[in-house]
Chain A
Amino acid sequence: MGRAKGAIVVDIEKCKGCNICVVNCPTDVIELSKEVNGKGYPYAYMENPENCTGCANCALVCPDGVIEVYRVIV
């Protein structure tokens, strides 16, 4: 059985920077940006993309539904 590799895509303009995905990521992939979006919020991004397993925990808890999750088995 292979290893899961994942990635997320964040709808930056709809992200409100609440940080809930960050604390719920089991592999410390996500951080909040230093810059802000058009609404003035920092937004979630993959700071450590190599750690992402595509578990989708971030998307499950994202109140604004702005995270898409992709996953492949390598």
Chain B
Amino acid sequence: MDIKDIIKPENKVYSKTSLMTDNALSYCPGCGHGTAHRIVMEVIEEMGIAHDTIGVAPVGCSVLAYDFMDIDMTQAAHGRAPAVATGIKRLWPDKFVFTYQGDGDLAAIGTAETIHACNRGENIVIIFVNNGIYGMTGGQMAPTTLGGMKSSTSPFGRDIGTMGNPIKMTELVANLPGVYFASRQAVHKPSNVRKAKKAIRQAFENQKEKKGLSIVEIVSNCNSGWKMAPVQSNIWMEENMFPYYPLGDIKVDDVILGK
């Protein structure tokens, strides 16, 4: 069968959602942000809620998320996205509100906003992309940088004794009663993308049902910051990030798993 006979509109089984704009993504080659963006937008498209959704972009690599997500969006100050989302959601309780934040934004400078939005049980979704480094500013140590991991501000490796431990933010907030759903996923392999998308769908369904806060962490790569080729960075992520940040649901239907 000729390829020309396969490539016909009626045979199309996958293309990017129309809720992703045609702007070329500003992310480095192989960066998981693009995939994470796309599956969030796919969920919003599949639920038919694009007209009722307001996203909050952070400061970090995804500061320009609003260039790529074709929905109403607000760009928040560094770390403040959960407070900004709170302000929107409290006044528009029937709209869907989500934040999209990196590890520096959510787990360092925005720790207070994150914890208190979670503790109040704000009925929002938090998408938390954790790549263990500050990508946009050039590869500095993040709150989630692994012990021994090199960055431009831990050039000899993160010394736990003086620089502190990498913080497991999703487990931490899962302990708060306001958090209804907490899950950690990845987007580097097809099976992971499917699971991550399922978790994001669950999070938005929870918001629809007014269940409280849902957080989906996506452990991702930063090949530029980690100074590796994209495929190599994904292998490194599996071997080093996943043991410390294990994938899977952490809290489902208000119940912490394994407790």
The answer for the CA separation of A18 and B232 in the assembled complex, in Å, is 10
Q: B3 — nearest CB in chain A belongs to which residue?
A: A7
Indicate the size class of the contact surface on chain A: 20 to 34
Tell me whether B30 and A18 are in contact (CB under 8 A): yes
Q: Is the CB of A63 within 8 A of B7?
A: no
**Per-residue interface assignment for chain A, residues 51 to 74, with 1 indicating a CB less than 8 Å from any chain B CB and 0 otherwise:** 000101101111111111111101
Please report whether the interface of chain B is mostly helix, strand, loop or mixed according to DSSP: mixed
Number of interface residues of B (CB under 8 A): 35
Which residue of chain B is the closest to A57 with respect to CB atoms? B190
Residues of B within 8 A of A46 (CB): 3
Q: Which partner residue on chain B sits nearest A16 by CB separation?
A: B29
Q: Are A59 and B14 in contact (CB under 8 A)?
A: yes
Q: In the assembly, what is the distance between CA of A70 and CA of B30, in Å?
A: 23
Tell me which of B15, B29, B190 contacts A68 (CB under 8 A).
Answer: B15
Q: Which residues, 173 to 223 on B, are CB-close (under 8 Å) to A?
A: 187-190, 193-194
Q: Is the CB of A69 within 8 A of B194?
A: no
**Chain B 12-36: CB-based contact to A (< 8 A → 1; otherwise 0):** 1111100010001101111111110
* A 1-41 contacts with B by CB, 8 A: 5-7, 9, 14, 16-20, 22-24, 41
Asked whether B30 lies within 8 Å of A16 as measured between CB atoms, the reply is yes
Most A CB contacts (10 A, CB to CB) among B5, B12, B30 go to B30
Checking A17, A19, A71 against B13 with a beta-carbon cut-off of 8 angstroms, the contacting residue is A71
In the bound complex, do residue B3 and residue A65 qualify as a contact, i.e. CB atoms below 8 Å apart? no
Instruction: Check B188 against A20 for contact (C-beta < 8 Å).
Output: yes
- Among the listed B3, B8, B13, B33, which residue makes an inter-chain contact with A63, where contact means beta carbons less than 8 Å apart? B33
On whether A70 and B13 interact (CB within 8 A), knowing A57-B190, A63-B25, the answer reads yes
In the complex, are the beta carbons of A70 and B12 less than 8 A apart? yes
Contact present for A72 and B5 (CB under 8 Å): yes
Q: Report the bound CA distance from A53 to B231 in whole Å.
A: 23
State the 8 A-B residue pairs at the shortest beta-carbon distance, nearest first.
A18-B30, A63-B34, A65-B16, A16-B29, A18-B29, A57-B190, A69-B14, A18-B230
